[in-house]
Structure 1
Amino acid sequence: MGKRIKAAIIGAGPGGLAAAMLLAAKGHEVTVLEKQTYLGGRTSALRLGEYIFDRGPTFLMMLPVLEELFELTDRRLQDYVELKRVDPLYTLKFGELEFSPGGSPEETARQIEGLFPGNGERYLRFMHRERDKLARVLPLLKRPFTSAGGYLSADMLRALPRLDAADTVHKRLSRYFTDERLRWAFSFQSKYLGMSPWECPGTFTILSFMEHEYGLYHPIGGLNRISEAMANAAREHGADIRMGSGVRRIIVENGRACGVELDSGEQLDADDVVINADFGHAATHLFEPGTLKSYTPAKMKKKKLSLSTFMLYLGINAELPLPHHKILFAADYRSNVDDMTERMILSEEPSLYIHNPSKLDSTLAPSGKSALYLLMPVPNNRSGIDWKEQAQAVRTVMLERLAAECGLDDITAVEALIEEEEMYTPDDWEQQSYVYEGATFNLAHSLDQMMYLRPRNKFQEVDHCYLVGGGTHPGSGLPTIIQSAIISAQLLEDSYREAPGRRGLLGGWRRGGATQEGSPS
Structure 2
Amino acid sequence: MLTPDALRPAKTAPETPKDQTGAKAIVVGAGLGGLAAAMRLGAKGYSVTVIDRLDLPGGRGSSISQGGHRFDLGPTIVTVPHLLRELWAFCGRDFDADVDLRPVDPFYKITWPDGSTYTARQGTEAMRAEVSRLSPGDLAGYDKFLQDSEARYWFGFENLGRRPMHQLWELIKVLPRFALFRADRSTYAHASSRLKDERLRFALSFHPLFIGGDPFHVTSMYNLVSHLEKEFGVHYAMGGVQAIAKAMAKVIEDQGGTLMLGTEVDEVVVANGRAAGVRLLEGEVLPADVVVSNADAGHTYDRLLRNQPRKRWTTNKLKRTRWSMSLFVWYFGTKGTAGMWPDAGHHTIVCGPRYKGLLNDIFMTGKLADDMSLYVHRPSVIDPSVAPAGDDTFYALSPVPHLGHDNGVDWQVEAEKYRLKVQKMLEERMMPGLGDRISESLVFTPEDFRDRYLSPLGSGFSIEPRILQSAWFRPHNVSEELPGLYLVGAGTHPGAGLPSVVTSAEVLGKLVPDAPGGGRRSAAPMERKLAAE
Aligned with 1:85: secondary structure?
Answer: strand
> Are the structure 2 counterparts of residues 350 and 419 from structure 1 closer, same or farther at C-alpha, using a change threshold of 3 Å?
same
Give the aligned partner of residue 429 of structure 1.
449
**What is the distance in 1 between the residues matched to 2:304 and 2:150?**
41
1:475 aligns with one of 495, 517, 521: 495
Please give the residue correspondences for 1:431-450 in structure 2 after superposition, counting only pairs within 5 Å.
431-450=451-470
Aligned with 2:59: secondary structure?
Answer: coil
Give the aligned partner of residue 126 of structure 1.
145
2:274 aligns with one of 256, 266, 273: 256
1:346 aligns with 2:368: yes
1:355 aligns with one of 349, 354, 377: 377
1:111 aligns with 2:135: no
Which stretch shifts more, 278-287 or 300-309? 278-287
Tell me how far 1:158 sits from its aligned partner. 7.4
> Are the structure 2 counterparts of residues 338 and 496 from structure 1 closer, same or farther at C-alpha, using a change threshold of 3 Å?
farther
Tell me how far 1:3 sits from its aligned partner. 6.5
Please give the residue correspondences for 1:22-37 in structure 2 after superposition, counting only pairs within 5 Å.
22-37=40-55
**What is the distance in 2 between the residues matched to 1:433 and 1:453?**
23
Give the aligned partner of residue 411 of structure 2.
387
Task: State the aligned residue count.
Answer: 496
Quick check: 1:61–1:214 contact (8 Å CA) kept in 2? yes
> Are the structure 2 counterparts of residues 397 and 34 from structure 1 closer, same or farther at C-alpha, using a change threshold of 3 Å?
same
Give the aligned partner of residue 39 of structure 2.
21
1:50 aligns with one of 54, 58, 68: 68
Give the aligned partner of residue 273 of structure 1.
291
Structure 1 ranges of 4+ moved more than 3 A: 1-4, 157-163, 494-497
Quick check: 1:133–1:162 contact (8 Å CA) kept in 2? no
2:247 aligns with one of 229, 238, 243: 229
After superposition, the C-alpha distances for 1:306-328 in whole angstroms (9 at most, x for unaligned) are: 00100111011123411111111
**What is the distance in 1 between the residues matched to 2:431 and 2:167?**
56
**What is the distance in 2 between the residues matched to 1:240 and 1:3?**
15
Q: Partner amino acid for 1:489? A: G
Tell me how far 1:159 sits from its aligned partner. 3.8
Give the aligned partner of residue 333 of structure 1.
355
> Are the structure 2 counterparts of residues 72 and 113 from structure 1 closer, same or farther at C-alpha, using a change threshold of 3 Å?
same
Quick check: 1:7–1:31 contact (8 Å CA) kept in 2? yes
Give the aligned partner of residue 519 of structure 1.
none
Give the aligned partner of residue 3 of structure 2.
none
Tell me how far 1:343 sits from its aligned partner. 1.1
Please give the residue correspondences for 1:275-294 in structure 2 after superposition, counting only pairs within 5 Å.
275-294=293-312
Give the aligned partner of residue 521 of structure 2.
none
Sequence identity, in percent? 32
> Are the structure 2 counterparts of residues 97 and 342 from structure 1 closer, same or farther at C-alpha, using a change threshold of 3 Å?
same
Give the aligned partner of residue 399 of structure 1.
423
TM-score normalised by the chain length of structure 1: 0.91
After superposition, the C-alpha distances for 1:313-367 in whole angstroms (9 at most, x for unaligned) are: 1011123411111111121111111110111111121111111110111111112
**What is the distance in 1 between the residues matched to 2:513 and 2:176?**
28
Quick check: 1:330–1:350 contact (8 Å CA) kept in 2? yes
Quick check: 2:325–2:402 contact (8 Å CA) kept in 1? yes
1:218 aligns with 2:236: yes
Give the aligned partner of residue 386 of structure 2.
364
1:99 aligns with 2:118: yes
1:144 aligns with 2:164: yes
Quick check: 1:14–1:469 contact (8 Å CA) kept in 2? yes
**What is the distance in 2 between the residues matched to 1:161 and 1:281?**
33
> Are the structure 2 counterparts of residues 164 and 471 from structure 1 closer, same or farther at C-alpha, using a change threshold of 3 Å?
same
After superposition, the C-alpha distances for 1:120-171 in whole angstroms (9 at most, x for unaligned) are: 3322222123212222222111111222111244xx2674354431111111
Tell me how far 1:466 sits from its aligned partner. 0.2
> Are the structure 2 counterparts of residues 240 and 495 from structure 1 closer, same or farther at C-alpha, using a change threshold of 3 Å?
closer
> Are the structure 2 counterparts of residues 4 and 116 from structure 1 closer, same or farther at C-alpha, using a change threshold of 3 Å?
farther
Quick check: 1:14–1:481 contact (8 Å CA) kept in 2? yes
After superposition, the C-alpha distances for 1:380-429 in whole angstroms (9 at most, x for unaligned) are: 11131111111111101100011112352xxxx42321111111000011
> Are the structure 2 counterparts of residues 514 and 237 from structure 1 closer, same or farther at C-alpha, using a change threshold of 3 Å?
closer
Quick check: 2:20–2:45 contact (8 Å CA) kept in 1? no
Let me know the Cα RMSD of the aligned residues.
2.0
Give the aligned partner of residue 91 of structure 2.
73
**What is the distance in 2 between the residues matched to 1:152 and 1:315?**
51
Aligned with 2:137: secondary structure?
Answer: coil
TM-score normalised by the chain length of structure 2: 0.89
Q: Partner amino acid for 1:136? A: F
Aligned with 1:42: secondary structure?
Answer: helix
Structure 2: segments with no counterpart, 5+ residues? 1-18, 518-526
After superposition, the C-alpha distances for 1:41-98 in whole angstroms (9 at most, x for unaligned) are: 0011121121112111111111111111111111111111111111111010112101
Give the aligned partner of residue 202 of structure 1.
220
